[in-house]
Each structure stands twice: as C-alpha cells, then as structure tokens.
Chains A and B, each alone.
Chain A
Amino acid sequence: DIQMTQSPSSLSASVGDRVTITCRASQGISNYLAWFQQKPGKAPKSLIYAASSLHSGVPSKFSGSGSGTDFTLTISSLQPEDSATYYCQQYNSYPRTFGQGTKVEIK
C-alpha cells in the first residue's frame, strides 16, 4: 500500500498568513493526489484533484502543487473559516490511502 505522510500534524497561524501543508507519498503517484477539508462534525469537502486542479466553487486562495512523491497545499491568506483539518489522498492505486491529517488553527 502507498503510505501518505502529511506535515505538520497541526499548525497555528494568524489571519492573513500564508499556510503550506506538505504531503509525501511512499512511492510515485504521478499527479493523482487530492486534498480535502473537514470541519468538526462535518463531512469532508473536496478542494483539489489532480494535485493542482481546483474543484468548482473552491476559492482561489487554495492552491496545490507537486508531482511524483511530494505535494503541497497552500492557503494564500488564512481566514477564520479555514480552521479545519486537511487531508491528502492518493488515487493512483488501490487501496486508496489518506494522509493522517493536518489540523489548522487560527491564532
């Protein structure tokens, strides 16, 4: 199985900060990488697919990059509503696997 490792596990940043989360795959996954946002008690929400393509309706402050084994999710200007846990997921091979999550808090 492909292991997905996110870093950091949690972070605290101020409103307006630029925030970057990294996701590393244990083997190459091309660009078959998705990012999801989950707020407490809610369903996940799809943000990005194909490593860098934004889902419809997702604000442009979110961006993704990477290919192969190393990927990043960037929030260009952190807002209070961005407080959530973010997960990466590879969909290159089965079983699909998720990272352990990165909890983003507002200072």
Chain B
Amino acid sequence: EVQLVESGGGLEQPGRSLRLSCTASGFTFGDYALTWVRQAPGKGLEWVGFIRSKVYGGTTEFAASVKGRFTISRDDSKSIAYLQMNGLRTEDTAVYFCGLTEYSSNWYISYWGQGTLVTVSS
C-alpha cells in the first residue's frame, strides 16, 4: 500500500527556516518524482514545487512565489523527500502535502500524503 507521511511542520517566525519531510513506503521511491502542494487556511490548492526521479536528472521546478527561498531534495536510500523552506513569510502559512508523482507522457500526482501544518507568525 502506498503511503506518504509528511512531518516537520509547526510554528515558525517570519524570516526563519523550516524543513519538511515526506517519508514514503509501499513503492520503489527512487522510481518516482515527488510534488509539494500547499493549502492556506480556507483556500484552494497551490502547487509549490517538484523533484524528478534520478533517472530524469533529479532536477526541480518551483512556483514563482517560493523560487529562491524553497528547495527540494531527496534521499532515495531512505525513501524521503525534503522541502527546505527559508526566509519564511506569513503567506507561507498552509498545510503542506506531498504527492507521489508518476510519469505517463508527463508528470502527474497519483497519491497524496495527509499533510503537515506550517504556521508562520511572530
């Protein structure tokens, strides 16, 4: 059974950093890409960023709102992906979901984690 578990959320002050983890099980993690999506309180879904599998270069893409502040990495030996969030802003407050991302002509999300809440406030 595919499982994705996010962790690392919490309360952090503006300007500080936080690292989220997405721990995967039930599939060969290294064969897949991983997407991060967030949802601010009472709002819709916002795509944050994405990391390809190593076979596709392990490269990343980001939304303009987080580019230069957030990075994504992966440790395939541990089946974990990370979202490093630097220079946090109050508008980064959201539930952050990770999504198993498959390739079929293009990359699409097939399974989701349960999410972890990040609150940025002084």
Which chain B residue lies CB-closest to A93? B106
- Give how many A residues have a beta carbon under 8 Å from the other chain's beta carbons: 25
Q: A49-B110, A95-B64 are in contact. Are A43 and B44 (CB under 8 A)?
A: no
Q: Contact flags (1/0) for B28-71 with A, using CB distance below 8 Å?
A: 00000001010000001111001000000000011110000000
Beyond A87-B44, A95-B61, whether A44 also contacts B106 by CB under 8 A is no
Docked Cα-Cα span, A63 to B46, in Å, equals: 24
Chain A residues, CB < 8 A from B62: 95
Are A55 and B110 touching (Cβ within 8 A)?
Answer: yes
**A89 B106 Cβ-Cβ under 8 A:** no
Chain-B contact segment, one of A12-20, A64-72, A73-81, A96-104: A96-104
Q: Which residue of A lies closest to B44 (CB)?
A: A101
| Inter-chain contacts of A46 with B (CB < 8 A) | 109-112
Please report which residues of chain A, range 1-48, place their CB below 8 angstroms from some CB of chain B when the two chains form the complex: 1, 32, 34, 36, 38, 42-46
- The main secondary structure of chain B at its interface with chain A is strand
Q: How would you classify the secondary structure of chain A's contact residues: helix, strand, loop or mixed?
A: loop
The closest CB in chain A to the CB of B110 belongs to A46
B6 to chain A, nearest CB (A): 9
Cα distance A98–B50 when bound, in Å? Answer: 15
Q: Contact at B108–A49, with CB atoms within 8 Å?
A: yes
The answer to whether B106 touches A43, judged by C-beta atoms less than 8 angstroms apart, is: no
Given known pairs A43-B97, A55-B110, the reply for A89 and B45 (CB within 8 Å) is yes
Hey, which chain B residues are within 8 Å of A34, CB to CB?
108-109
User: Cα distance A99–B62 when bound, in Å?
Assistant: 18
Chain B, 88-122, CB within 8 A of any chain A CB: 97, 104-115
Q: Which residues of the partner chain B approach A50 to less than 8 Å between Cβ atoms?
A: 104-105, 108
The answer on a CB contact under 8 Å between B114 and A100 is no
Interface residue ranges, A against B (CB under 8 Å): 1, 32, 34, 36, 38, 42-46, 49-50, 55, 87, 89, 91-92, 94-101
Sample 8 A-B pairs with CB under 8 A, ordered by A number.
Answer: A34-B108, A36-B45, A44-B37, A50-B105, A89-B109, A91-B108, A97-B47, A98-B47
